[in-house]
Structure 1
Amino acid sequence: MQQLVFVYGTLRQGESNHHYLAGAEFLGLYETPPEYALYDLGAYPAVISGHQVIFGEVYLIDDQILTGLDALEDVPVEYRREQIATSFGDAWIYLYQDAAKLDLLISSGDWCQRL
């Protein structure tokens, strides 16, 4: 089954885990409504509910890719998967589970511009 996923961190083009999306179709860039907050966990980011726009990419994926992403994101332990409305249709987003561990906000909302 084909599904959409919104990625905002290491799964984006040019980032360390983009290879998990091999075989996926890139649909385009997307900015979320200001309903989230992006944090830097060092090697990867975390998104939780907040008041910030998050920048990312939307992909058309199959069930095999989704299973691999769930394993990478340690669903349902470290992250949970929810759907958000995008300009391409409803897409999965991975939300971080333990907000108490977050302290380094990426104020731009863009993981690729964090440095």
Structure 2
Amino acid sequence: MFQLLFVYGTLMSGFSANVFLSDNQFIGYGVLYGARLLHLDEGYPAVVDGDGRVFGELYQVDTLTLKAIDFFEDFFEAFPEKSLYIRTIRPVRLLPYGDFVDAWVYILNSCFIDSKSYIEIPGGNWRDFLKKLLML
């Protein structure tokens, strides 16, 4: 069974964790509304609920791929309270057409937000943020 997955950080094309998605179909680019994007001091991003938007990529994935990414994202379906990220379904707008699709998204577990150091990423695009960071 195939499902849609929205990725916004190291799982995107051109980044190291995209290897998880190499056998899956790239659907296109998308925008997640009602969210903020953070760059954690550990060097990777996290989405939290908020009033902004986050840009990323959509993939059609199979169940086995989703389970592998759950492990990578420290999501434990049986123990969500102990998970770093929570996998949840959110509406994502496809670019450039504007249709909304329901996709899985990994959201930072709110119980961890106070224990993390981070920079909020204005504009919600991690790839652009890293380009600017590397130019400094």
Settle same-fold status: TM greater than 0.5: yes
| Pairing 1:113–2:112 present | no
Larger Rg over CA atoms: 2
Q: Percent identity?
A: 37
Secondary structure of 2:120 counterpart:
coil
Give the distance between the partners of 1:74 and 1:106, measured in 2 at CA.
22
**What letter matches 2:102 in structure 1?**
D
Give the distance between the partners of 1:63 and 1:113, measured in 2 at CA.
30
From the two aligned structures, give the one with the greater helix fraction.
2
Secondary structure of 2:16 counterpart:
coil
Comparing 86-95 with 57-66, greater Cα deviation is found at: 86-95
Q: Does the 8 Å contact 1:24/1:61 carry over to 2?
A: yes
**TM-score, with structure 2 as normaliser:** 0.79
Unaligned runs of 5+ in 1: none
RMSD: 1.3
1:102 CA drift (Å): 4.3
Unaligned runs of 5+ in 2: 77-82, 93-98
Q: Does the 8 Å contact 1:39/1:102 carry over to 2?
A: no
Comparing 82-91 with 63-72, greater Cα deviation is found at: 82-91
* 1:8-33 CA-partner distances (Å, limit 9, x unpaired): 00000101211010211000000122
How many residue pairs were aligned? 114
| Pairing 1:99–2:113 present | yes
1:91 CA drift (Å): 0.5
Q: Does the 8 Å contact 1:83/1:93 carry over to 2?
A: yes
**What letter matches 2:38 in structure 1?**
Y
Give the distance between the partners of 1:83 and 1:32, measured in 2 at CA.
11
Give the distance between the partners of 2:18 and 2:100, measured in 1 at CA.
20
